[in-house]
Structure 1
Amino acid sequence: MSPIVAGRFDSIPSAEDAARTLFARGFSVWDVSIMSVRPSGEAQPGERAGTEAQTQADESACNVMLAACVGNGLSSVAVDVLREAGASHLERAQGCWECGQWTDFDPNAHGEPVQDGEGEYWPRPLARESVAEQSTGNEDPGSELEHFVNQKRAEHD
């Protein structure tokens, strides 16, 4: 069984944007799966074929789920990316992940909901805080930031 983080999107393009962000943050194409989930609960992994009109009709008739296998230790990153991309119903689950697909996915079963505030992986909040630091303009631009991050790292540990 593999740990999985999943979220729902309103459209395939928005899920694909989130997938591209996951790839940029260290996920492999084998770690991310996008599937259409029809209102009846029937999952359609990788459903994208057909004409543009058919694809648009499919998008309006279904929810799109992006699932990421997070056995690589990037669970918090996945939660952050999905949340920032506008995913709803974020959840954690255990499932069988094979060849880039969640093979035992059950659209009627739900995993453990991701709590608000969960997923903020550590360096990101520091970057926002460090921008607010006052600079005299005489320092090496990296040294002040480095000092700030080292101070926060010591507080965090």
Structure 2
Amino acid sequence: MSPIVAGRFESLASAEDAARTLFARGFSVWDVSIMSVPQGAADSATAGAAGDTQRGGAVMLAACVSNGLGSVVVDVLRESGASDLERAQGHWDCGQWTDFDPAVRGEPVQEGEGEFWPRPLAREAVAEQSTGNEDPGSELEHYVERKRVEHD
């Protein structure tokens, strides 16, 4: 069994854009799969898990993350507009999730999960008061270190 991160897209073009971003970040074509999900199957799977039938898409991008880069995939999928991000275990063979079942949902990815855990961190750092005499890089580093200590 291989660890897999997947997300649903409203269009094939959006999923392909996300795949290109993953390829640019070092993933191979053997690590990423785009598959069509029947609309009814996507609706019933997400309706059972989420309680509404308006979620889900007709295209899913799945990535095998046995390389330990699951957080990179989570970030790329979020930035690309994917919905219903999930983690699953499955058989991955020749670049395909061979035992994928659209009616079975994986574990939902949590909101704060990803490579860059607190997403609004950079905006908050820029909003801090500056005297103009500080090195901007070191000011940001001190802010990030304070936030990490608070987070842990």
Normalising by the smaller structure, the TM-score range is 0.7 to 0.9
Identity among equivalent pairs (%)? 79
Q: Do the aligned residues in 1 keep the contact of 2:5 with 2:87 (CA within 8 Å)?
A: yes
Q: TM-score, normalised by structure 1?
A: 0.71
Q: CA deviation at 1:144?
A: 1.0
Q: Does 1:38 align with 2:38?
A: yes
- Out of 75, 85, 101, which is 1:80 matched to? 75
Pair 1:142 & 2:137 matched: yes
Structure 2: gaps spanning 5 or more residues = 42-56
Q: Which residue of 2 aligns with 1:69?
A: 64
CA distance in 2, matches of 1:124, 1:64: 26
Stretches of structure 1 that go unaligned for 5 or more consecutive residues are: 42-61
Match of 1:126 in 2: 121
3-state SS in 2 of match to 1:107: coil
1:126 alignment partner AA: L
2:11 — aligned with what?
11
CA 1:21–1:142 in structure 2 vs 1: closer, same or farther (change >3 Å)?
same
1:155–1:26 distance in 2 versus 1, CA, 3 Å: farther
Change (3 A) 1:21 1:98: same
What is the alpha-carbon root mean square deviation over aligned residues? 2.5
CA contact (8 A) 1:130 1:145 kept: yes
Residues 98-144 of structure 1: CA distance to partner in whole angstroms, max 9, x if unpaired? 222212222332222334x1424436443332222222222222121
Name which one, 1 or 2, has greater alpha-carbon Rg: 1
- CA drift at 1:24: 3.8
User: Post-superposition shift, 1:40?
Assistant: 6.6
1:23-61 CA distance string (max 9 Å, x none): 3444333221111223476xxxxxxxxxxxxxxxxxxxx
Query: Which stretches of structure 1, 4 residues or longer, exceed 4 Å deviation after superposition?
Result: none
Number of residue equivalences: 136
Separation in structure 1 between the aligned mates of residue 145 and residue 70 of structure 2, nearest angstrom? 24
* Contact residue 112 and residue 118 of structure 2 kept, 8 A: no
Q: Find the counterpart in structure 2 of residue 102 from structure 1.
A: 97
User: Aligned partners of 1:141 and 1:88: how far apart in 2?
Assistant: 35
Q: Is the 8 A contact 1:32 1:66 kept in 2?
A: yes
The CA distance in 1 between the partners of 2:132 and 2:26, in whole Å, is 34
Change (3 A) 1:78 1:150: same
* Residue of structure 2 in register with 1:91 after alignment: 86
One-letter code aligned to 2:113 = G
TM-score by length of 2: 0.73
